Amino acid sequence: MDQIPCFMDLSTGKTYHRKGEKNIELKSTTGTKMRFTIMATVMSEEGAKLPPYLIFKSNLKPELPNNYKDHLIIRHNLNGWIKEDLLKDWLDRIVLNLKLPENYVLALVIDQCKVHLKDTIQKYLKKNNLAFFYIPSGCTGLLQPLDVRINKPLKDKLRLHFSKWFQEFGSTDKNTTKSGYLKPPSFEEICNWLLDAWNNIDNELVKKSFEYRGNYYF
């Protein structure tokens, strides 16, 4: 009887193999601990999507190469998390760089991430005349548009990109190190996946993420 190979569907997180098998081997790359943060920003006006702000976990001293102009902002630090300096940079590059129609007031709605609550950040927001509101603790999944409708399809699309890459190239002999380990996807590949996933988020979906009916978003 032919052996049935183990298969992991990364779009669902499920692993498939012959029933009753005690040992299941899974191929993985050296990038299993690879981490990056996406700062995604949307606007209720016409369902606008602003350029994603991508933070890679990297100890590179120079700026990572960016061939995407203003479609994607690329940064890095040692842990891949948003820090105070990068949050201010995000505000400068994405939020404060917006050209609004006359008589418009920009209101920033953010969750209670630790760095968002810093006094220095609040002073920076006030200094730049930005109205800002914090989503109550425990209500992000109900009140933040990104969590309500956008993050899931965005992550699903990224998983599908990785799954396709891994099946076609990532798990092959061509993608091995001298020691025989599988290499992780490159920064450039991740950037391309993110841009494609972000561009595939429909503007109508963004607008609906701001709509509220009774106790629920629709």
For residue 26, is pLDDT > 50? yes
Residue 83 pLDDT: 94
Residue 28 pLDDT: 65
* Domains located in the chain, CATH noted: 7-217 (3.30.420)
Mind giving me the DSSP string for 152-211? HHHHHHHHHHHHHHIIIIITSGGGB-TTSPBPPPPHHHHHHHHHHHHHTS-HHHHHHHT-
Contact of 106 with 100, CB cutoff 8 Å: yes
Residue 177 pLDDT: 87
For residue 12, is pLDDT > 60? no
Residue that the structure tokens 């081997």 belong to: 25
Contact of 37 with 82, CB cutoff 8 Å: yes
pLDDT class of 32 with cuts at 50, 70, 90: low
Is the pTM higher than 0.85? The answer reads no
Alpha helix locations (H) across the chain? 84-90, 119-127, 140-143, 145, 151-165, 187-199, 203-209
Mean pLDDT on 130-151: 90
Q: Which residues are bridge partners to 176 per DSSP? A: 182
pLDDT class of 3 with cuts at 50, 70, 90: very low
pLDDT class of 7 with cuts at 50, 70, 90: very low
For CA atoms 120, 121, 122, 125, the dihedral sign is: positive
Contact of 64 with 46, CB cutoff 8 Å: no
- Tens digit of each residue's pLDDT (9 = 90 or more) over 179-214: 888 898 998 999 999 999 999 999 999 999 988 654
Beta strands (DSSP E) in 22-130 are 36-39, 53-57, 73-77, 107-110
